[in-house]
């Protein structure tokens, strides 16, 4: 089966750094995705990790530990526009399926 | 590249009517398309997986006779919500995948409101 856990809400200050954690249990694991979703819009791709380690892409970085079933998304130099829901999704379980977590609603404050 | 469109972007219909939503991959051929549903403040829930030329595979709890999926070509899949009811009101999102890509490409979503 598939199981994804991430915090429901987080609040951070503009200019700060925030880390959003995700744990997963996925059979046939093929990778871990992070998406950003603004209200009323479809998710937009942020990152994909399949090997252990840190992937850095501008202000956003994503980390994966396959042995621990753990990932995090790191957002640096937070901006107000980063206020959104961040979805962790595991790829696997046969049929190239994505299983989404409930999403973490991030609120960036002044 | 890798653009996916959905039509319509929003639709309002009366209870009991049927609504068809189209999902198109505009610049690549998608061997597999996925249909998701998202209720307010909830995450995306996979409804079904659609492979071109074959019957869709539905997730547990999704009624295949109510949510008809057709994937007639490598660039088009349709989802028809038959005899829609207010509880079917939701945000429906499709995604497209083909081998060689390490991700699914999402459409912009369709907001369905059933009165």
Q: Higher model confidence: residue A54 or residue B40?
A: A54
Dist CA B6 CA B19 (whole Å): 13
Q: What is the CA angle B97-B103-B108, rounded to 5?
A: 70
**Out of A41, A97, A103, closest to residue B46 by CB:** A97
Strand partners, B91: B38, B111
What pLDDT was estimated at residue B55? 87
Inter-chain contact B46–A99, Cβ cutoff 8 Å? yes
Strand partners, B56: none
**Does the pLDDT of residue A94 top 80, yes or no?**
no
Residue A105 banded pLDDT, cuts 50, 70, 90: very high
- b vs e for B28-49, b when ≥16 Cβ sit within 10 Å of the residue's Cβ? bebbbbbbbbbeeeebbbbbbb
Q: Quick one: what percent of chain B has pLDDT higher than 70?
A: 99
Residue A1 banded pLDDT, cuts 50, 70, 90: low
> Distance from A93 to chain B by nearest Cα, in Å?
12
Q: Sign of dihedral through CA atoms A40, B34, A92, B38?
A: positive
Using the Cβ of A51 and the Cβ atoms of chain B, whether some distance falls under 8 Å is answered with: no
Dist CA A56 CA A60 (whole Å): 6
Residues in chain B closer than 8 A to A103 (CB atoms): 43
Strand partners, A35: A45, A87
Dist CA A92 CA A12 (whole Å): 32
């Amino acid at each position: 089966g598939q199981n994804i856990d991430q915090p429901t809400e987080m609040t951070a200050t503009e200019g700060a750094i925030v880390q959003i954690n995700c744990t997963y249990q996925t059979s046939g694991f093929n990778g871990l995705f992070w998406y950003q979703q603004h209200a009323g819009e479809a998710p937009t791709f942020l990152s994909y990790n399949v090997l252990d380690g840190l992937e850095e892409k501008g202000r956003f970085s994503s980390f994966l530990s396959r042995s621990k079933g753990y990932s995090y998304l790191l957002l640096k130099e937070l901006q107000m526009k980063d206020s959104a829901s961040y979805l962790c999704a595991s790829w696997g379980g046969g049929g190239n399926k994505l299983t989404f977590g409930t999403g973490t609603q991030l609120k960036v404050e002044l | 590249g890798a653009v996916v469109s959905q039509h319509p972007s929003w639709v309002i219909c009366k209870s009991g009517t049927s609504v068809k939503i189209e999902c198109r991959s505009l610049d690549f051929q998608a061997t597999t398309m996925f249909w998701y549903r998202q209720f307010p403040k909830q995450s995306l829930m996979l409804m079904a997986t659609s492979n071109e030329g074959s019957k869709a595979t539905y997730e547990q709890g999704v009624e295949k006779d109510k949510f008809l999926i057709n994937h007639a070509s490598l660039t088009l899949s349709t989802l028809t919500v038959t005899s829609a009811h207010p509880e079917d009101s939701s945000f429906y999102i499709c995604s497209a995948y083909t081998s060689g890509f390490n991700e699914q490409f999402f459409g912009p979503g369709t907001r369905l409101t059933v009165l």
